[in-house]
Structure 1
Amino acid sequence: MLKFILKRLGSAAGVLLAASLLLYILVINSGDPLGDLRESNAENREYLMQQRTEYMNLEQPWYLRYLTWLTGVSKCFVGACDLGRNINGIEVTDLLANAASSTLRLVLLATVIAAILGIAIGVLTAVRQYSGLDYLVTFLTFLFFSLPVFWAAVLLKEYMAIGYNNWLENPQISLGTSILIGVVAGLVLQMLLAGSLKRRGITFLATAIFVPLLLQYSVWLNFYRFPQMGPAVIIVLTVLLALSATAMSVGLKEKRVLYPALITAVLVLGMYYATFWLLAEPNGWLLLGGAILAVVIPGLIGKLMGGRLSKAAMGVSVTVGLVGAGLTVLDHIFRAWPGFLDLKGRPIATIGSSTANLEGGFWDHFLDNATQLLLPTIVLAIISLASYSRYTRSSMLEVQQQDYIRTARSKGLSERTVIFRHAFRNALIPIATIAAFDFAGLIGGAVVTETVFGWKGMGDLFNTGLHAVDPAPVMAFFLVTGTAAVLFNLLADIVYAILDPRIRV
């Protein structure tokens, strides 16, 4: 494996070198970097042209400029990157650090959301092949996959930002709209749960009645401007999660998994009260420490009480702990929402990655960053989600035809065990390739998204450099995206061997 990795790294370096040379030649021949100054009537025009020539080393032949850039890149191996200066004399390394942090924050979140939802939808539609749900999801995934990014972004800005901000000034939901939402929710839920015609009918009626009542009650509470949750809702949701996660993994009869999960749910309630004042005005390190504890403590409980099912107990308990911690944080976000609306009356932004000179505490800035992330993340996620769901469905259907799946069913194993323990792991092998390329592709695809939403990230760096015929920012963009593509492709090959030890290079 080590020989294979070194060989792949060597070939990848050759590909990156050739691609960088080609891109550099294309950029420097796409226009005149001094064109705007040649047309200028400024008195110091000659001085500005000389200054820009020095910044960009235009007095040198192109191959020497490329070698200078390549030498600066080689210094990255010793932690002293020198990517040159842009057309204004600003160090590109500093610009790249700010742009990469902004874009990676966006792309990482979109990738995680798309992967989790897409894989879950793919598994569900594979299990329910040729059902109404399968046809509906197939239609929606092809629709999302074919959406032009810029068009979807404009629609989101119109309806989920401008429209929502207008509605939030006086949030009202008419009774007719509530009933319509309830009917649609009922139709979708009965398709998800399936079962006999009687069961589906009861599911539809219950949902069609409950959802309109809940919506009208939320309007009466003025929930959308003053949201509230509290410890009662948190404990109910964590207990329900403990029961459902146990049922999906090993079944409710296995007390060695169920009891640690329920104990974790009780601990979540205790930690809610213990950390209430700490979380009123926390910091990033405090939240990170809480997340680590939400994994370590439930994991130890599951390990000690799980016995022969310790792995399943640890997995379920950690899931309950993490979700419970997330609900606790969500409760404090709800409490901070009214104050955030006072600071920023129209919360969902359409331009930029943050609000300049925003006052307020930790949660106000957290909400500002979250609302700025919302729309571009949705755009990137729904387009990637289509790929994940279709590939997962196809892979699951192929795996379910294998002999070892038929053998597992013939041995009397439950369908849950067959799907999640035997089929799902092997179906993930081709998905590893999709995830590797999707992350690198999203960085490049974020150029359009960032342009529409006015983000100062990698896309803006690329666009600015390309329009100014400035190769330094464009090459910095290539350095990040190209390296990401190569490394994640290599990572996919390594994950292959982890998911299936039979795979040998």
Structure 2
Amino acid sequence: MLTFIIRRVLIGLGILLVSSFLLYLLVDLTIEPLEDLIASTDPNKEFQIAERIRLLELDEPVIQRYFEWLGGVLTGDLGTAWRTNRPVGELLQGAIISTVQLVSAATVLSIVLGVAVGIVSALRQYSGFDYLITFVSFLLFSLPSFWVAVLLKQWGAIGFNDFLANPWIAWGIVVGLGVIAGFLWQLAIGGAVKRRLINAAIGGGATIAALAFLQLSGWWETPNIGPVILAVTSVVIAFAVTALSTGLRNRRALYTALTCAALGVALWYPVRFYLFYYLTDYMNWGVVALLALLAIGVGVGIGVLYRGPDWKQSARTGGIVAFLVAGLIFIDQVMSVWGPYYNSNAINGRPIPTIGDRTPNLGGNWWVGVLDSYTHLLLPTLALMLISFAGYTRYSRGSMLEVMNQDYIRTARAKGLTERTVVVRHGFRNSLIPLATIVPLDVITLIGGAIITERIFGRPGMGQLFLQSLDTDQIEPVMAYLMIVAFLAIVANIIADLIYAVLDPRIRVNA
């Protein structure tokens, strides 16, 4: 594998070198740094043109300028944006963070939701649910991202902020949403008429009960997870993760998951108290990562303590459940500062923003800053996620259908394996192989698509930097953006090959 990685890295560096040369030539042909001076009526125009030619070395051949730029890049100097006289590396720092936040959130959510819905759609082929998901997927896939973004600004920001001024949902709408949820739930599960009616009643009743609880408890004014929602959600997570990971018949794994859920509920208040009163001044994302690893370690440890011949499965289940429950506690802590955030002068009762990636002059502690970042991420992430969700749904559905028609699936069923084992261990894992190519490359596509989204939502990310630099004829920032995207594309291809080998043991990366 090491030989493969070294070989691919060397090939990638060669491709990067050639592509950088071609891109430099194309960008140089595209921009015109002297355009504003040529159109100027200043009597000192000729002198200014000569000074800019000297500053940008435009009198030198473009190939010579390319190698001077390349030499600077190899020594860590990405150049200077000549209009602002700021180093490109300084401009990229904030832009990369903003874009990575947006793309990461959109990618994770679209993959998880898209693949899950696609798998269910494949297992329910030619059912009402399958037809509905197919229609919604094609509809979302055909929508232009800028139009989706504008609609989200109108209804997701302006409309929702107006709703928060008087947060009350009519009971008729609550019942209607429950009926819709029950209808979708019975479509997804299927079965005989009696089973469909039972599932529809359970899904609709649960939806109505949840909305009624949120409304009657004043949740819209002070949103939080709290011990009640945490307990219910943790138990649901425990059963769901166990069902997917090992099956509910594995009692040790189920007891591990439920123990992790109960421990999370028991530690809800102590953990929040410690985080707010003792760690607030020291909090950063590094500390959050360490706490997440600690939670996973505790879950794995609980699985090991239950022992048994399948303790590794219990440990895996415990680690996943503990991580998800800890995530709920973290989200609850972030939401606990909603009151000061909502009532601050900078927010003025309009917490869902339409532009930027942070609120100017907000103030507050680290938790307020995190909440502010989340609210700014909400709409642009949703805009990118909807388009990607449609693609992942179609890809995962087609891949799962192809896998479930293979001979080894029929053999697994003939051996008497449970349907969960056949679907999860044999079907789902092999259906991920085609996605191993799509997902890494789609991340690069999302960065390109984020240009439009960042422009509409006014996020100061790499897309905005690229457009502004192109408009102002600054070649160094443009080249920095293009080279970062090219580098990530090469890395994505290498990662895709490695994921192939992990998912399919028949594939050897050193072959």
SS of 1:455 mapped into structure 2: coil
Cα gap change, 1:359 to 1:503, in 2 (>3 Å): same
CA distance in 1, matches of 2:97, 2:243: 40
**Residue 476 of structure 1, aligned match among 466, 474, 480:** 480
Q: CA deviation at 1:44?
A: 7.0
Q: CA deviation at 1:99?
A: 1.2
**Residue 147 of structure 2, aligned match among 128, 134, 151:** 151
Q: CA deviation at 1:362?
A: 2.0
Cα gap change, 1:208 to 1:497, in 2 (>3 Å): closer
Residue aligning to 2:430: 426
Q: Does 1:33 align with 2:33?
A: yes
SS of 2:272 mapped into structure 1: coil
**Are the aligned partners of 1:27 and 1:469 in contact in 2 as well (CA < 8 Å)?**
no
Residue aligning to 2:288: 287
Gaps of 5+ in 1: none
Map 1:310-349; keep pairs closer than 5 Å.
310-343=311-344, 344=347, 345-349=349-353
Cα gap change, 1:213 to 1:415, in 2 (>3 Å): closer
CA distance in 1, matches of 2:432, 2:213: 42
Q: Higher mean Cα deviation, 19-28 or 118-127?
A: 19-28
Q: Does 1:464 align with 2:471?
A: no
CA distance in 2, matches of 1:410, 1:275: 49
Q: CA deviation at 1:279?
A: 2.2
Residue aligning to 1:63: 63
Cα gap change, 1:161 to 1:47, in 2 (>3 Å): farther
Amino acid at match of 1:39: A
Q: CA deviation at 1:475?
A: 0.4
CA distance in 2, matches of 1:98, 1:48: 32
Q: Higher mean Cα deviation, 346-355 or 356-365?
A: 356-365
Residue aligning to 2:270: 274
Q: Higher mean Cα deviation, 103-112 or 170-179?
A: 170-179
SS of 1:493 mapped into structure 2: helix
Cα gap change, 1:145 to 1:23, in 2 (>3 Å): same
Cα gap change, 1:46 to 1:352, in 2 (>3 Å): farther
Amino acid at match of 1:473: P
**Are the aligned partners of 1:376 and 1:450 in contact in 2 as well (CA < 8 Å)?**
yes
**Residue 103 of structure 1, aligned match among 93, 99, 104:** 99
**Are the aligned partners of 1:56 and 1:85 in contact in 2 as well (CA < 8 Å)?**
no
**Are the aligned partners of 1:396 and 1:423 in contact in 2 as well (CA < 8 Å)?**
yes
**Are the aligned partners of 2:148 and 2:383 in contact in 1 as well (CA < 8 Å)?**
yes
TM-score by length of 1: 0.93
CA distance in 1, matches of 2:243, 2:262: 19
**Are the aligned partners of 1:21 and 1:66 in contact in 2 as well (CA < 8 Å)?**
yes
CA distance in 2, matches of 1:102, 1:386: 24
**Residue 498 of structure 1, aligned match among 497, 502, 509:** 502
CA distance in 1, matches of 2:429, 2:412: 14
Map 1:26-425; keep pairs closer than 5 Å.
26-40=26-40, 49=49, 52-75=52-75, 80-212=76-208, 214-280=210-276, 282=280, 283-284=283-284, 285-343=286-344, 344=347, 345-425=349-429
CA distance in 1, matches of 2:494, 2:243: 37
CA distance in 2, matches of 1:44, 1:325: 66
**Are the aligned partners of 1:69 and 1:84 in contact in 2 as well (CA < 8 Å)?**
no
CA distance in 1, matches of 2:36, 2:381: 36
**Are the aligned partners of 2:225 and 2:332 in contact in 1 as well (CA < 8 Å)?**
yes
CA shift digits 1:4-37 (9 cap, x unpaired):
4333333333332332222222222224212223
Q: CA deviation at 1:113?
A: 1.1
CA distance in 1, matches of 2:41, 2:304: 76
CA distance in 1, matches of 2:90, 2:46: 28
Cα gap change, 1:297 to 1:219, in 2 (>3 Å): closer
Q: Higher mean Cα deviation, 271-280 or 60-69?
A: 271-280
SS of 1:276 mapped into structure 2: helix
CA distance in 1, matches of 2:416, 2:340: 57
TM-score by length of 2: 0.92
Residue aligning to 1:442: 446
CA distance in 1, matches of 2:290, 2:15: 41
Q: CA deviation at 1:335?
A: 2.2
CA shift digits 1:457-504 (9 cap, x unpaired):
111111012112221111000111000001111111111112112113
CA shift digits 1:339-389 (9 cap, x unpaired):
211011211111111111112222211111001011111111111122222
Cα gap change, 1:301 to 1:207, in 2 (>3 Å): closer
Q: CA deviation at 1:233?
A: 2.9
CA distance in 2, matches of 1:298, 1:209: 32
Aligned pair count reads 501
Q: CA deviation at 1:177?
A: 1.9
Amino acid at match of 2:69: W
Amino acid at match of 2:122: A
Aligned-pair Cα RMSD in Å:
2.1
Identity %: 43
Amino acid at match of 1:127: L
Residue aligning to 2:23: 23
CA distance in 2, matches of 1:330, 1:422: 34
CA distance in 1, matches of 2:123, 2:471: 49
Cα gap change, 1:214 to 1:431, in 2 (>3 Å): closer
Q: CA deviation at 1:217?
A: 4.5
Q: Does 1:454 align with 2:458?
A: yes
**Are the aligned partners of 1:99 and 1:458 in contact in 2 as well (CA < 8 Å)?**
yes
Q: CA deviation at 1:185?
A: 1.3
Q: CA deviation at 1:212?
A: 4.0
Gaps of 5+ in 2: none
